[in-house]
Amino acid sequence: MNKKNNLINLGCRLNIYEGEIIKNHLNNNNLQNLTVINSCAVTAEAEKKVAYEIRRAKRNNPENKIIVTGCAAQINPEKYSDFEEVDLVLGNKEKLLSEIWKDLNFLETIQVNDILAEKETVYSTIEKFEGKSRAYIEIQQGCDHRCTFCIIPYGRGNNRSVPAGEIINKIKKIVKRGYKEIVLTGVDITDYGKDLPAQPTFSNLIKRILKLVPELEQLRLSSIDCAEIDEEFLNLLSEKKLMPHFHISLQAGNNIILKRMKRRHSREMVIDFCNKVLSKRKDATFGADIIAGFPTETDEMFNDTLDLVDKCHLTHLHVFPYSARQDTPAARMPQIDKSIIKNRARILREKGLKKFKEHLLKKVGKKDSILVEKNENKKSIGKDKNFFKAIFNENIKEGSIIPCVYIGIKNDMLVAKKI
C-alpha cells in the first residue's frame, strides 16, 4: 500500500480480511493521502475507539482525507459524517466494491445502502495478505440471529454464504502463493450454507476443503457456535490438518443469562461439546468470548461462568466488560453498576491468565510445530497449533512451519527448539 495511505482495522478477523481488499483497491487505483478507518461497533466502547482513531488520524496525518467504513459506519453513517475530520463514509458492502474506489471525488459524503436487503457476498480476488504469515478466507457474511446485546446484524446483514466452489478455488490460489495456513472467517461461520441452493453444511465445507486442496498444510477456524455443530464435525477432528484450537462464542456460563441474551446454547451443551471434542482430539484447546456483567447477572450467575471456565478447560479468554449498546434489547434491561462489571471482568481475566499459564507449563518438554510469523532481534516468533505464542532463538523464514520441542517459558511465550 502507498506509504502516504494509512489503514486502521478495528475489531474482528473479518475486518482484517476486508482490510486487505481495501489495500488492494487503494493500490490498484494509485490513491494517495487517505486514512481509512475500518470500524467496529460490537460494543459502545468499540464505537468510542472509532471516534478516538478519527481524531488521532487527523492529528498524525492532517493532510490525509479520512474515510470511515465498517460496522459503525454502516449502522450510523450520519453520526460519522458529522465529524468535521471525516470526508467520506462507506458502508460494509460499498467498501469492497472496486467501482467505489475508482473516483472518490465524485461520491456523496455518505455511501451506505441497506445491508439487510443484500442477498449475496461481494466477490473478492484477494490472494495476498500483506505482512501476514497466514491467509484469511471469508466463507460467509452476516447473521440470522438476534442476540439481545448485539447490533452486528444491522452492520453486516443477514447470513449470506459464499459458494463452496468459489471458496475452494480461492484457497487453491492462495496455497500456490506459499501460504501454509488458512483461517476460515465470517460473522457466524458455523451457520454456513443454509442460504445456498443445496444447503451444504459447515462440516461439509471443511471436508471438501481438506479433500480437494491436499497441498494445504493447516486449516484453522475462527469463532464457532457449538449450537450449530453436528456429528460430522466431530468426525472430522481426526484430520490432523484441522487445527485443534476452537474458539467458542460462549458469552456466559449461566442458563438464565444465556436465555436473556437469546443465545441458542445452554451451559450443558458447551460442556458436552468440549468433552466430545477432547474425546476425539486429545490435543484440543478451547478459547471463548465472555461478557462480564450482563444486565441482571447476580454473583451466583457470574460464578457459573467462572465454573464453566474450569469445566471446559478454557485457556484463551476474550473478556468483554458489558457496555450497553444503544438500540439493543439488553440496553433496556436492568443494568449492573459499572464498578461491579469492571471487577467481574478483572476476575475473569485473572482466571483466564491462570488457566493459560497452567497449560503453558504442561506443554514444556512436548513436541509440536510452529508457524513462524515474524523475525526480530535474531529471534523468530510464531504460533503453534493451539494458537499459543512461541519463540525460537534464531532467525527462521517467515511463513515456515517448523517442528520443535518446547524447552521452557519466557514472558508467557513458549521457548521452542527446532528438531
Full-model pTM: 0.90
Domains of the chain: total: 4
DSSP 337: P
In the predicted structure, residue 150 carries a pLDDT above the cut 60: yes
Helix H or strand E segment including 68: strand 65-70
Q: Is 263 within a domain? A: no
Predicted confidence (pLDDT) at residue 1 exceeds the cutoff of 60: no
In a domain, 251, yes or no: no
Mean pLDDT, residues 117-132: 77
Q: Based on the domain organization, do 298 and 354 belong to the same domain?
A: yes
Distance CA 387, CA 220 (A): 10
Contacts of 384 (CB under 8 A, 6+ apart): 368, 369, 370, 371, 390, 414
Closest CA to 315 of 342, 283, 269: 283
Asked if pLDDT for residue 4 goes beyond 90, the answer is: no
State the greatest distance between any 2 C-alpha atoms of the chain, in Å, as a whole number.
61
Pairing of strands 285-292, 245-251: parallel
pLDDT tens figures, 83-94: 999 999 999 999
Q: How many helices (H) and strands (E) does the chain have?
A: 12, 18
Mean pLDDT along residues 213-226: 96
From 113, 137, 163, the end of a domain falls on 113
345, 312 Cβ separation under 8 angstroms: no
User: Do 207 and 121 belong to one domain?
Assistant: yes
Q: Let me know whether 142 and 171 are in one domain.
A: yes
Lowest mean pLDDT among 45-59, 100-114, 186-200, 376-390: 100-114
Position 250 in a domain: no
3 state SS of 242: strand
- Per-residue pLDDT, 3: 56
Query: Per-residue confidence at 331, pLDDT binned at 50, 70, 90?
Result: very high
pLDDT digits (tens, 9 = 90+) for 260-270: 999 999 999 99
CB 387 within 8 A of CB 284: no
Residue 405's domain spans which residues?
367-418
Residues 361-385: what's their mean pLDDT? 95
pLDDT digits (tens, 9 = 90+) for 199-216: 999 999 999 999 999 999
Residue 228 has pLDDT above 70, yes or no: yes
Asked if pLDDT for residue 327 goes beyond 90, the answer is: no
User: What's the CATH number where 219 sits?
Assistant: 3.30.750.210
**β-pairing verdict for 367-376 and 401-410:** antiparallel
Q: Are 194 and 161 in contact (CB under 8 A)?
A: yes
Q: What secondary structure does DSSP assign to 260-321, as a single string?
A: HHT-S--HHHHHHHHHHHHHH-TT-EEEEEEEES-TT--HHHHHHHHHHHHHTTEEEEEEEE
258 belongs to a structural domain = no
On whether residue 67 sits in a domain, the answer given is yes
- Say whether both 321 and 398 belong to one domain: no
